[in-house]
A and B are shown apart, each in its own frame.
Chain A
Amino acid sequence: MATTARGGNGLPILPPDPSPGMLPEFVKGLWRENPVFVQVLGMCPALAVTNTAVNGLAMGGATLFVLVCSSFLVSALRRLIPKPVRISTYIVIIATFVTVADFALQATVPAIHRELGAFISLIVVNCLILGRQEAFASKYPVGPAVADALGMGSGFLLSLTLLGGAREVLGKGALFGVSLFGPDFEPWVIMILPPGGFFMLGFLLLGFAVAKEARQKIAERAVGKEAA
């Protein structure tokens, strides 16, 4: 399987496997290799700013933008970047796009920019982005690299929106700022405070693990039946 050789942040620099194609590269980030719930990467923004669905969406959107632009550039320049300084170069590229995203958010949606605060600048150190450059974009042509970045970025965006949405519903009784239960609802305030982030992430990770196990059992049973 192509995926095993380029797991683990590409520590051994192996010749890349041929890309299985654009669509699989895109789809894998959404579920099977979901950056938050399967790879457990980028936990800092995933916990810190997901107290509402809108914040999760904005953070995911900014990360998606930075990831796609960086992957495109790293992949396009992959033969020109000298190996010994590649990480420094990736960081410069990522930091540039983060700063651009920071300015853009500040200019277009100042309220959301104020809520996200320092976490926009901290996208620079999101290991998901650097990880994709080192493990994927630096080894593959532009097409698959962008498909991979779009998939991983969308997976991140959906995960953060899910986290934020679930916390907002429980902690504020609202979703995307729209009140759901009326004024009598007593919000479960802890869910929008930092501990609530850990609780919700824990529940969702548990959910993903249970789903995975159930799938495996079904597959094993099918194999068992064939053998019998």
Chain B
Amino acid sequence: MNGRRHLAEGVRLVLALTLAGLGSGLAIVGAYQATLPAIRANQAEALRRAVFEVLPGAERMERLEWRDGALAPAVDGGGGGGAAGAGPAVFAGYGAGGEPVGYAIPGEGAGFQDTIRLLFGYRPERRRVVGLAILESRETPGLGDRIYKDPEFVAEFADLAVEPRVELVKDGGEAPHQVDAITGATISSRAVVDIVNAAGGEWFERLPAEAPGGAGGGDGDGHDR
């Protein structure tokens, strides 16, 4: 008799938790479905804004993937979904007249606290970095987060030579390929430079000086600076 009552009590407990779990699951799936489009749109919008930010003069962008040794337009159509697509991808930017204004190259690597994800603009015909945007980072507030909050540091990447390679210096380097480290955030500064160099090593040789299928001709100010 006692055993049976015990069993019934056990069933009641299992039932209560099962129902709680079921209700919880339904609520979470509902919330997920309801917010997913907005979350996706936010991520795509953030990426799009970053592309236009690092490529001065860009009016239009195209997602290009590296497949079988060549650059090809992305199959999934545009930069939908901020998450990494099928293959490694870059974003080609075009000006108002359809002329190429460079490529936005994503990169990521270890920062001081967590992975830093960033995007930088690159003009192959000048071999220069022309802009930098940090997409995701958890650097120390007030110190490491100056890699995107300090206008002086960000400005270092507005016209930065990539040859022989980007170099971090601690006392105001003047050479076109040198970046001045942020005082108190050397590790974060170095992380950014390392990520740019690593992503550059992967992409710089793949990118033609003239964008594929672009209006050719470049924008006239090719090599004179």
Contact = CB atoms under 8 A, between A and B. Distances in A.
B12 interface: yes
B21 interface: yes
Contact of B32 (A103, A189, A192): A103
A104 B42 CA distance: 12
A92 interface: yes
B140 interface: yes
Category for how many chain A residues contact B = 20 to 34
A85 B141 contact: no
A89 interface: yes
Interface string B12-28: 11001100110110011
Interface of B: 12-13, 16-17, 20-21, 23-24, 27-28, 31-32, 34-35, 38-39, 42-43, 46, 136, 138, 140-143
Contacts of B35: 103-104, 106-107
Contacts of A88: 17, 20
Contacts of A193: 140-143
A174 B35 CA distance: 32
Given A93-B20, A96-B24, A99-B28, A114 B140 contact: no
Contacts of B23: 96
A192 B141 contact: yes
A187 to B, nearest CB: 7
A189 B183 CA distance: 13
A71 to B, nearest CB: 16
B38 A82 contact: no
Interface of A: 51, 80-82, 84-85, 88-89, 92-93, 95-96, 99-100, 103-104, 106-108, 110, 114, 117, 171-172, 187, 189, 192-193
Interface of A is mostly: helix
Interface of B is mostly: helix
A49 B159 CA distance: 35
18 contacts: A51-B141, A82-B12, A84-B13, A88-B20, A92-B21, A99-B28, A99-B31, A100-B28, A103-B34, A103-B39, A106-B35, A106-B42, A110-B39, A110-B42, A110-B43, A110-B46, A172-B142, A193-B140
Given A192-B141, A193-B141, A85 B24 contact: no
- Residue among A95, A103, A114, A117 having the largest count of chain B Cβ atoms under 10 Å: A103
